[in-house]
Amino acid sequence: MTDLVPALLGSPRFLIEPARTLTDYHRLRRRVFVGEQELFAVSDLDDRDDDPRTIVLEARDSSGALLGGVRLGPASDGPDIGWWQGGRLVVDPAVRGAQRIGPALVRAACAAAEQVGALRFDATVQSRFRRMFERLGWEPVRPVTVAGRPHHLMRWPIGRIAALAGATKNPLGALLDGLHLGGSGFVGDDGAPVPGSDLIAACDAILPSMVERDPDWAGWCSVLVNVNDLAAMGAAPVGLLNAVGARDAAHAARIIGGVRRAADAYGIPVLGGHTQLGVPAALSATALGRTSNPVPGGGGRPGQRVRLTVDVGGDWRPGYHGRQWDSTSRRTGEELRQMQAYAGIAQPDAAKDVSMAGIAGTLGMLAEASSCGAVVDVAAVPRPAGTTMGDWLTCFPGFAMLTTGDHRPAPTGPAVAADCGELTTGEGVRLRWPDGELTTALPGRVTGMGPAK
């Protein structure tokens, strides 16, 4: 992480980047916080300075002289759950004010926090600097006292989850108005009951850029996302149709090869479809499943616990780090089919397959369809080691199912299950942190399609 903020703010120029050594930064802190401001009697060093995860950003001029610095890092000694704190912002008294080094360091710290996957970023600032932080976009939380002096707890609003929902789901209500997709009780659901039958139909398209550059994986995913949709409805897959567009036969063969491998693994026959050559890359698939008792996505009620059942094995798909988690291509057919059968056996009140909107966004969709809001207990979310909370709550996780209400005993295969939230009155999704604080992830409805009824 280098060159976060190349800043040309007057003369001389200065550059903000991660500290190579902490000696000068610690010396400047002691000079200001102990000597000048007398906030501390002997030293301002604390346990955050000893945490190897702590990042220090420094502003230096063209000669290499230190002008100021700031630190940020996880708020607790335990696992990094996406809660970070900034602090010890300091600027050399000789260069304060004119060059706006302090604000530049604050902006750099915000960028760094989001870059490492934080979903909550706090700072306790001296009350006289509250206005500066507000001008930079920070939100005041409450007054606090530090070292016997008035301070204010401030919070940087991280909109990563809301931005994902805005890009993938927010326009759907207006676009699909009047279609009543899914039918009464299943509007906006993962699949749609076929009237007059026990069939469930699901349909998904794969991003053309993914079909172009990773055709085998695209073919696999075209099956994966559809059987996941059927699984969320409690339906057993019975057949698949797909439409393939490719520049030539060789490219089409790679797409179809991925479809074939996934269909064999999940035990769903490919019934037919359409193939077009000499065209830009494209792939969509429609799956049919069967159930006599479909599980709705909008059957939740306020007060119900939210359970996440997810396969945390595997790794990031090469080329899609932080966006697509691949556990499924490494599983046996038996393991895949056991996970797919979970919701049909457990028969929860509501179920949603986690897909493009990520875990938090998909929970928002379930809550919206159920006329509810939702809270996620961040520390309770099952997560693969080495992934950031920001990535994990916004990625496509391969196999992940959100369910609410009572559950019958059901095997999860290699997936793990944990209660990690609850449905509430109101709307939107909030994140609950170990200190009891709630932060807003989604302020309102995700799709605009409203309740499933």
pLDDT for 339 equals 97
What structural domains and CATH numbers belong to the chain? 5-158 (3.40.630.30), 159-189+296-453 (3.90.650.10), 195-293 (3.30.1330.10)
pLDDT for 3 equals 47
Tens of pLDDT, residue by residue over 295-315, are 999 999 999 999 999 999 999
**With left for phi above 0 and alpha for psi between -120 and 50, is residue 3 left, alpha or beta?**
left
Mean pLDDT of the chain: 94
User: Element (H or E) spanning 191, and its range?
Assistant: none
pLDDT for 94 equals 93
Tens of pLDDT, residue by residue over 77-130, are 999 999 999 999 999 999 998 789 999 999 999 999 999 999 999 999 999 999
Give the pLDDT band of residue 1 (cuts 50, 70, 90). very low
Mean pLDDT confidence for 160-179: 92
Q: Are the beta carbons of 158 and 121 closer than 8 angstroms?
A: yes
Tens of pLDDT, residue by residue over 349-359, are 999 999 899 99
Largest CA distance in the chain: 80
- Distances 58 to 19, 24, 97, 109, 206 between C-alpha atoms, Å: 6, 10, 17, 10, 43
Percentage of the chain exceeding pLDDT 70: 97
How far is C-alpha 341 from the chain's CA centre? Answer: 25
pLDDT for 222 equals 98
Give the pLDDT band of residue 6 (cuts 50, 70, 90). very low
Q: Is it the case that residue 174 has pLDDT exceeding 50?
A: yes
- Distances 416 to 19, 188, 389 between C-alpha atoms, Å: 40, 26, 17
Q: Is it the case that residue 61 has pLDDT exceeding 80?
A: yes
pLDDT for 5 equals 47
pLDDT for 99 equals 84
Q: Is it the case that residue 9 has pLDDT exceeding 50?
A: no
Q: Is it the case that residue 35 has pLDDT exceeding 50?
A: yes
Tens of pLDDT, residue by residue over 50-60, are 999 999 999 99
Q: Is it the case that residue 283 has pLDDT exceeding 90?
A: yes
Q: Helix 249-266 to helix 215-232 angle, to the nearest 10 degrees?
A: 30
Tens of pLDDT, residue by residue over 139-169, are 999 999 988 899 999 999 999 999 999 999 9
At 212 the three-state DSSP class reads helix
pLDDT for 345 equals 97
pLDDT for 2 equals 43
